[in-house]
Amino acid sequence: MDRDSVEELVALEDVQRVVLGSCLPLGPIEIGLSDALGFVLAEDVHASGDLPPFANTAMDGYALRADDTRTAPVELSVIGVLPAGTAPTQAVEPGTAVQIMTGAPIPPGADGIAIVERTEPGSSDGKIRVLDQVSPGAYVRSAGSDLRRGDLAVAAGTVIGPAHVGLLASVDATRVTVHARPRVGVLSTGDELVGGTVPLELGQIRDSNRQGLLAALQRDGFVGVDLGVRRDDEAAISAGIREGVERCDALLTSGGVSMGEFDFVKVALETLVTELGGRAHQFKVAIKPAKPLSFAVVAAPGGRLVPVFGLPGNPVSSMVSYQVVALPVLRKLAGHRSPLPRRIPAVAADDFERHPDGKLHLVRVVAAMGADGRLIVRSAGEQGSHQLAALAAANALALVPNGTGVSTGSEVQILLTGPLE
Residue 185 contacts ligand AMP per CB under 6 A: no
Of 146 and 191, CB closest to ligand AMP = 191
Residue 310 contacts ligand AMP per CB under 6 A: no
Q: Which residues have CB under 8 Å from 206's CB, separation 6+? A: 193, 194, 195, 200
Which of 43, 132, 191, 192: binder of ligand AMP (CB under 6 A)? 192
| 8 A C-beta contact, residue 248 and residue 183 | yes
Residue 11, CA distances (Å) to 15, 17, 80, 291, 361 in order: 6, 10, 74, 10, 12
Of 96 and 188, CB closest to ligand AMP = 188
End-to-end CA distance of the chain: 37
Residue 48 contacts ligand AMP per CB under 6 A: no
Residue 312 contacts ligand AMP per CB under 6 A: yes
What φ, ψ does residue 24 adopt, rounded to 5°? -125, 155
Q: How many CB atoms lie within 10 A of CB 265?
A: 32
Q: How many CB atoms lie within 10 A of CB 292?
A: 22
Binding partner selected for residue 208 from Mg ion, ligand AMP, none, CB under the kind-specific 5 to 8 Å limit: ligand AMP
Residue 254 contacts ligand AMP per CB under 6 A: yes
Binding partner selected for residue 207 from Mg ion, ligand AMP, none, CB under the kind-specific 5 to 8 Å limit: ligand AMP
Contacts to ligand AMP from residues 53-112, by CB under 6 A: none
Of 293 and 376, CB closest to ligand AMP = 293
Which residue, among 140, 197, 194, 147, has the nearest Cα to 169 in the 3D structure?
147
Number of residues lying near ligand AMP (CB under 6 A): 20
SS percent in the chain: helix, strand, coil, step 5: 25, 35, 45
Residue 379 contacts ligand AMP per CB under 6 A: no
Q: How many CB atoms lie within 10 A of CB 71?
A: 7
Contacts to ligand AMP from residues 198-217, by CB under 6 A: 205, 207-210
Which of 25, 88, 105, 190: binder of Mg ion (CB under 5 A)? 190
Residue 35 contacts ligand AMP per CB under 6 A: no
Of 190 and 289, CB closest to Mg ion = 190
Residue 240 contacts ligand AMP per CB under 6 A: no
Please state the length of the chain: 421
Of 145-153, 168-176, 250-258, 334-342, which part binds ligand AMP (CB under 6 A)? 250-258
Binding-site string for Mg ion from residue 248 to residue 267, where x marks contact by CB under 5 A and - marks none: -------xx-----------
How far is it, in rounded angstroms, from Cα 397 to Cα 241?
30
Which residue, among 196, 294, 179, 292, has the nearest Cα to 241 in the 3D structure?
294
Residue 193, CA distances (Å) to 189, 197, 202, 237 in order: 8, 12, 12, 14
Residues making contact with ligand AMP (CB under 6 A)? 188, 190, 192-193, 205, 207-210, 254-258, 260, 263, 312-315
Residues making contact with Mg ion (CB under 5 A)? 190, 255-256, 313
